[in-house]
Amino acid sequence: MMRTRIERLAIPAALDAEGGDDFAQSAAVGNAVEHHLWGHDDFATDVEDRILMAQPTPEREYVLGVARAEGRIVGNARISIPLRDNLQAAYVQLEVLPGKRRQGIASALLAFAEQQLTLRGRTTIMSWSDARMGVDGDADADAGVAVVERLVPPTGAGWYPAADPAARLAVGRGFDLVQVDRQSVLHLAEVRSDRGRDILLRQEAEARTRGSEGYGLVRWVDRCPEDRVEDYALLRRRMSTDPPLGGFVQQEELWDAGRIRREEERSLAAGTSTLVEAVLHRESGRLVGHTILERFDSRPAVVYQEDTLVLDEHRGHRLGMWLKASNLRRAADSWTDAERIYTWNAEENSFMLEVNVALGFRPSGRTAGWQRVLT
């Protein structure tokens, strides 16, 4: 077996700074892992975007561990450490080149991550892994394929293939499967068709006539209006705990106007375009819900559905459907070269999954949420 060295890689401020070549190698590993899993590059990240998003902020510290074999980087441990909230937790993603697996590299990278977190007093590690639907026997029984051994989270919602390499590593290292998300995709050609547009318009009209009286929509691009930023900060804060969390030990994130502005500037610097649609409660004059679509200029064909939230006290008015249908039409019209929208939802979040299915999203993958409490 070739000798592999695990080391911490300093994150340079720019690609042309010292360490930029190594960072580019690390980024290429991450993109190669995504391509191997999905068979496409929709989840690849441009190295310039990646380096900007890895810079430290008042809210987050980033640590990058790499595995080096024969002078080349073959694996990553990407660690994200909250600094203002969730001070017991850290988020870890492991990536190993397909041709270098089953050599103990992932285990060594995880040991590196555990050491870094122990030094910082963190006791809870959260991580995620993906499985593509319909590949390698990972299909539902009604598709006519033999049922694989399944891991089911405590919620009982969704499942993840036990034979997946990430699952074997996680279980073997004491992680618990605490949640399963459904990854779904919507092809914008369908949205732009006459039938697709009719579906969205009908969903919007039905939402407006079935309880949304007293509400209106507010929208912006990239930057929240100054008179709405405090409301928006509350929505982002509630987004961290209001959706189903499964078994994750997640505390409310601290969001204020300063963090909103820092995140906006950071996203713009990384070439991210954002469409935000929010619900205005007319009587109070406050924002009570929002949804976010974003895409990177470096891959304009791909859009990501991020947050969608309606505050508890304003649910039951089909505001979520109104928000999402309106913003989808907006994206189809504004981003004419966009082709696909991806979204992720907890399998126990049946309401939002029903909304997505009604809007035309179809399942494309599973995401396992793993958690380990260090002793």
* Claim to verify: residue 252 and residue 291 sit in the same structural domain: yes
Residue with tokens 């690849």: 44
Q: Are residues 142 and 208 in the same domain?
A: no
Q: Based on the fold, state whether residues 294 and 322 are members of the same structural domain.
A: yes
pLDDT for res 141: 39
In a domain, 375, yes or no: no
> In 3-state terms, what secondary structure has residue 114?
helix
Same domain assignment for residues 134 and 204: no
pLDDT at position 136, please?
Answer: 42
Which domain does 53 fall in, by range?
A: 4-183
Q: Does 153 lie in the same domain as 293?
A: no
**Taking phi first (over 0 means left), then psi (-120 to 50 degrees means alpha), and beta for anything else, what does residue 256 get?**
beta
Output the pLDDT for position 256: 97
- The whole-number pLDDT of residue 206 equals 87
Q: Tell me which of 147, 162, 183 is where a domain ends.
A: 183
Q: What is the predicted pLDDT for the residue at 211?
A: 67
Query: Cβ atoms within 10 A of the Cβ of 72, count?
Result: 14
pTM for this structure?
A: 0.93
**Within a domain: 44:** yes
Report pLDDT digits (tens) over 332-354. 999 999 999 999 999 999 999 99
How far apart are the C-alpha atoms of 58 and 53, rounded to whole Å? 13
**What is the reported pLDDT for 32?**
98
Instruction: Answer yes or no: do 144 and 208 share one domain.
Output: no
Please say if the pLDDT value at position 210 is more than 80: no
Do 45 and 72 belong together in one domain? Answer: yes
- CATH number of the domain enclosing 161: 3.40.630.30
Nearest-angstrom CA–CA distance, 308 and 289? 8
Task: State pLDDT tens for residues 16-33.
Answer: 999 999 999 999 999 999
Concatenating the DSSP letter of every residue in 192-244 gives HSHHHHHHHHHHHHHHHHTT-TTEEEEEEESS--GGGHHHHHHHHHHHTTSS-
Residue 63 lies in a domain: yes
Q: At what angle do helices 350-359 and 319-334 cross, to 10 degrees?
A: 40
Residue 373, domain member (yes or no): no
Which residues, including other chains, have CB under 8 Å from residue 99's CB and lie 6 or more apart? Answer: none
In a domain, 132, yes or no: yes
Tens digit of each residue's pLDDT (9 = 90 or more) over 132-184: 996 443 444 334 435 679 999 999 999 999 999 999 999 999 999 999 999 99
Domain presence at residue 124: yes
**Together in a domain, 269 and 295:** yes
Please give the span between the terminal C-alpha atoms of the chain, in angstroms, as a whole number: 32
Identify the three-state secondary structure at position 11.
coil
Average pLDDT of the chain is: 94
Q: Which of 123, 325, 287 is nearest to 204 (CA)?
A: 325
User: Is residue 341 in a domain?
Assistant: yes
Rounded to the nearest angstrom, the gap between the alpha carbon of residue 181 and the centroid of all alpha carbons in its chain is 10
Q: Range with the lowest mean pLDDT among 51-65, 191-205, 264-278?
A: 191-205
Q: Is residue 372 part of a domain?
A: no
Q: Are residues 195 and 50 in the same domain?
A: no
Domain end call among 155, 183, 211: 183
Q: Is there a single domain that holds both residue 15 and residue 140?
A: yes
Cα 319 from chain centroid? 22
| Shared-domain flag, residues 157 and 97 | yes
The DSSP element (H or E) to which 178 belongs, if any, is strand 176-187
pLDDT band at 2 (very low <50, low <70, confident <90, very high): low
In the chain, the number of structural domains is 2
Residue 87 phi/psi, 5-degree rounding, is -75, -5
Instruction: Encode pLDDT of 280-297 as tens digits.
Output: 999 999 999 999 999 999
Residue 93: alpha-carbon gap to chain centroid? 12
∠ CA 61-62-63 to the nearest 5 degrees?
125
| pLDDT of residue 312 exceeding 60 | yes
Domain boundary residue, one of 134, 161, 183: 183
What are the pLDDT digits (tens) for 227-275?
999 999 999 999 999 999 999 999 999 999 999 999 999 999 999 999 9
Based on the domain organization, do 91 and 221 belong to the same domain? no
